[in-house]
Structure 1
């Protein structure tokens, strides 16, 4: 679980690195202009991070499912080699899906250049396409279906975990200590991501620009801020490693 947590933190740094440096540069510049290559790269980094967050949460859900529902088989099913393969898959799948989306986008000619967002994304670029984007929309639907399937797998895993944990006091304690933080992280991430998707498709253009920008930045701000707090305060080993107990002095 701690290996997956480490990758979750790395992914948060990766995603925010795709936004904040450019955002700070725009704040210091009079003209907020970005090259086409830079725009495509920023969109690739941000949405790869979003997809990787879901794949890592799915891996963590599987880890908790095996640990709680099949404890005697845990070390057999989740060997170091298996964990390594899961992590590689959790990173390579989003990179591959996003890479194909980028290739499908850069082949299109553009008839415009203005993006009404603080960051670049694939949807904003496609709005300026001079050619049909049917293939892009099909690929986006396929990608969305994959993310929904992962959310369903996470929900199924935790239904099984809840069923097992409610049988005993020890199980309820284990569920509270290790699974509740993961559930909170998952719910927060899904809500803010869904909020951004709905805002992208159904956002009111008459809404003030500052409010629209704030709504669009939710998934870049909320998960990276809340993830360390949630896991740091609820997981005892993480909390113990971070806070030094001054009343214990060894000679």
Structure 2
């Protein structure tokens, strides 16, 4: 995607996402919502996923905050959110060099969006420490590949809650997959085969510094075997 952007300097984040979506797939594609699975056009699926990202912040942002997105990739969701919430700043942290480089090219002229290098396994998250004012913490699908969520959630995160007013996660939550339905069992097995973590929700709920306020299962499944669920928390 970085080479596409450099070959097409006028392309914005939506153009890059459209190319990525159509690179190895053709419509219709499978999509899930509320444990229903159906076929949909690729671009329609993206619109629905964007609605979920925007909607996750309804009632959370008052204006003047900074949303810090950990593991933000090349920043597509930051672009979606910045367009929807013009009074909010967005800072992304991304482990990969290419992700940071592409984000910086895409948002070079955007004064409310920036992306910096970041690693979940750092002892201190300097990205958060460098943000002034109120912070809303956000992740979308970036916690999945951690072998376990527990150390990050229960040890590192609480060290950075002095200015965090809320947490919003759109993540793959193993604990929510029902064990009595075929779809739920398939989703559990998919997680195990891919060696994704299975303890995100329990880690959040068992961390004394956090109060999990809402949990909504299967809000968007671009991969119906690995859907996103929405989790909100506040510092205690």
TM-score tier, shorter chain, comes to under 0.3
Q: Relative to total residues, which structure has the larger helix share, 1 or 2?
A: 1
Which structure: greater strand fraction? 2
Higher radius of gyration, 1 or 2: 1
What is the TM-score of this pair, normalised by structure 1?
0.26
